[in-house]
Structure 1
C-alpha cells in the first residue's frame, strides 16, 4: 500500500473516531437520571394561625357617683387591691343652681316647721286642759311631724349637694372611691386635681381606675372567613406570646363570633380562648399573641411530599410520574388534607410505587409537561 493511501486511511479513521465520540456524548447528555421516592404513612395536621392579644377575662372600671375634683389618689398602677379598698377621694364642687335650690327648700321647710310647731304647742296646751277634742290635737300633731320630716329631708339634700354624702345614715360617703372587685390596678387615668363626672343615665362617667384579675386571662384574636366554619368551641389551641419566646401556653376555644367585620377586603371573625397560665411567667394585659389552631387532623394516612406533585395545565388535576421498567408513567392522583409540606393521597398510587423526583429534570422536560 502506498504512502498516500495510508494517510487517507488514517484521516478517515480519525474522523470516524471523532464522530463516534461526538455521537456518544450527544446520546449521553440526553439521558437524564431521575431519583425516586415512595409514599409513606404519617399523621397530617392542617393548622391556621390567629393573631391577637392576651387580655384579662374580666376588667372592672371604677367610676364616681358624684361630680367633683380628685382630692387624693391612694394606690398606684400594678398594686393589688381587695373589694372595698379605698382608691381615691373626690372633693365635691357644688352646682350653684342645685345649691341655691336646695338652700331655698331648707328655708321653706324650716318656716313650715316653725309654724307647725307653734300650732302643735298651742293645741297640746288646749288638749291638756280638755278644751279641744283628741281628733283636733292628733291632726295638729301629724302636721307637726310631717313638717319636721320635710325639714330633715331638705337639710339632708343640702348636705349631699355640699359634701357628697350625708351623716347619720351609716352609709359610705360618695366622696370615697372604693374598689368594687379584687385584683390588680391596671390603669389610673386620673391624677390629683382632675375633674371627674358621675355616672348617670346620659353619661358613662369618668373612669378613675380599672381593675382585673390577672390570674384569669383570655386570648382574643381574629380568623378569616374561609377557616371559621372549621372552628368549634372546646378546641384545644396553643398560644405563643411575642414577649415570651419559646413558650406556648395551652388554651381552650370558648367563643366564635356569629358576625364578622370586613378588614382590608376580607371578612374577619373574632375568637376568644381561655388561657392556662404558668406561674413562672407574669403575663401582662395586652401582650401580642398568636394562636396555633388545628383545623383538621388525620392519623396514619398515605402521603407524599408536595414537591413531587405536578398539575395538568388544562384540567389542573394533580399527578405524579411513577417508574415503570426503564421509564416513567403518569398517574393522576386524588389528594386530601395538606399541611404545606406533606399531602394525603386518597387514590392513584400505592406505598410501593417509585415516584419521580423532579429536581433533576431538564428544561425541555419541564416544557413538555
Structure 2
C-alpha cells in the first residue's frame, strides 16, 4: 500500500516537472515585445466646433406698394443692382366704388360751400366799397368803416379756404380713381420706387397680379426684396452640447459648398438665448458677420455653408498625438514614456495645452528630440521553417 502511494506521488511530481519544463521552453521560444516610438513635431493646434447653416444678407428690405391695385409694369428683375429712388414697378389702381362715391359727394358738398362763400364775399365787397365812399365823404365814422373792412377781409379769407378745400377734394377724387393727381409729384402716384440701394434678390409678383397696400390689418404685398450683398452674414445652428463652449466675439472660418477652395473669415456676434427643438435635439441659432469679402467673389444669398468656430488656437507649438499620453491611476496627471535605451523607457510628466482630439500641445516635460513610446505592441516576424526566409 505504501509502495503504491509512493509511486503515485513520484509520478505526479514527474508530470508537474515535465509541464513546467514545457512552459519554460514555450516562453523562451516567444519573440520579445517591441515598442515603436514617435518624435514630437512643431505645428498648429486648432480646437473648433462646426455649425451648419447658410449665407444670407444682413438686412433684407421688402418693397411694398403705397396703394392697392394691379401691377401694370415691372422694370427690374432679380440679380439687378439699383439705387434708392429707381423705379421698380407701376400699379394701376382699381377704384373702390364706395370710396369713389364718397369722394364725389365730398366734391359736391365743398363746391356748394365755395358758392356760398363767393356770394358772401361779393356781398361784403359791395358793402365795403359803399362804406369806403361814405367814409371818404365824412358821412360815417372810422369805426363803422373799420367794421366793414373787417367783414370784407373775413369773407375774402373764407372764400380762399373753401377754394383750397375744393382743390383738395378734387385731388382726393383723382387719387381714389387713378392713384395719382397733379401737383403732388411722387408723393401720391402709382410708381413703386426703391427705398434703399442694393441688389434685387426676388421679384415675387408679375404683371397683372393684384397687390394690397400695407395697413393695420395686412402686411401688404411684397413687390420686390432688396439687400446689400456686400454685407452678408452666416446664419446657422449649433447643438445644445456645443453652445456652452462658444461665446460672442469668437472667430469663424466659413466654407461655402458652391465656392471651391476658399475660406471666408467672420466673427460670431449673436447666440440665441433660447433653443428650439428639432428632430429631438435642442438647437441654438447663431449669426456671424462676414468680413473683408473679396469683390471678385460673388456669394449668392441662401447658399449652404459650414462655420468652424475657433474655440482655441496654438501656433508653432510642440505637439504629439493624444494617443501617446497616459494618465496616472491615482493623480490623473498626464505623462509619457521616453526611450532612454534599447527598448528601455522612463516616465516623464508633461503639461498639456490645446487639443483638437487627435493632436495635443505639450507645454513642457519633453523636447523635440525625445522618442516617445507608442503603446501598440508589435512582434518581429518569425523566421520561416528551414532557416533563412
Alignment of 1:25-36 (within 5 A): 26-29=27-30, 31-36=32-37
Matches within 5 A, 1:275-354: 275-310=291-326, 320-323=336-339, 335-345=352-362, 354=371
Of structures 1 and 2, the larger Rg is shown by 2
Could you tell me how far apart the structure 2 residues matched to 1:118 and 1:290 are? 79
Q: Where do residues 196-211 of structure 1 align in structure 2 (5 Å cutoff)?
A: 196-211=211-226
Which blocks of at least 5 consecutive residues in structure 2 are unaligned?
A: 1-19, 135-144, 380-389
Q: Which residue of 1 aligns with 2:282?
A: 266
Contact 2:70 2:92 in 1 (8 A): yes
1:126-180 CA-partner distances (Å, limit 9, x unpaired): 3223388223323322332232222222222222111222212334443001112
- Structure 2 residue 257 is matched with structure 1 residue 242: yes
Mapping for residues 174-213 of structure 1, pairs under 5 Å: 174-213=189-228
Hey, what's the Cα distance between the residues in 1 that align with 2:216 and 2:378? 76
> Alpha carbon RMSD of aligned pairs, Å?
3.2
Task: Give the 3-state SS of the residue equivalent to 1:222 in structure 2.
Answer: strand
Q: CA offset at residue 361 of structure 1?
A: 5.8
Aligned to 2:235: 220
Distance 1:175 1:45 in 2: 57
Aligned to 1:8: none
Secondary structure of 1:244 counterpart: coil
TM-score (norm 2): 0.76
Question: Does structure 2 retain, via aligned residues, the 8 Å contact 1:254–1:274?
Answer: no
1:93: which partner in 2?
A: 94
Using a 3 Å threshold, how does the CA distance of structure 1 residues 296 and 349 change in structure 2: closer, same or farther? same
Aligned: 1:162 with 2:177: yes
Summarize deviations over 1:298-352 as a string: whole Å, max 9, x none.
Answer: 2454432122245678987655455566555666765432122211345666666
Query: 1:258 Cα deviation (Å)?
Result: 5.7
Uncovered stretches (5+) of structure 1, i.e. residues with no partner: 1-18, 363-369
Say which SS state the counterpart of residue 185 (structure 2) adopts.
coil
> Partner of 2:35: helix, strand, or coil?
coil
**Number of the residue aligned with 1:136:** 151
Q: Which residue of 2 aligns with 1:359?
A: 376
Indicate whether 1:117 and 2:114 are aligned: no
SS at match of 1:111: helix
Q: Secondary structure at the match of 2:266?
A: strand
Identify if the C-alpha distance between structure 1 residues 269 and 315 changes in structure 2 by more than 3 Å, giving closer, same or farther.
farther
Check conservation: 1:223, 1:271, Cα contact below 8 A. no
Once residues 179 and 221 of structure 1 are traced to their aligned partners in structure 2, the CA distance between those partners, rounded to angstroms, is: 30
Are residues 1:82 and 2:96 paired?
no
Report the Cα offset of residue 198 of structure 1: 1.0
Mean Cα displacement is larger for which, 157-166 or 198-207? 198-207
Are the structure 2 counterparts of residues 165 and 314 from structure 1 closer, same or farther at C-alpha, using a change threshold of 3 Å? farther
Aligned length: 342
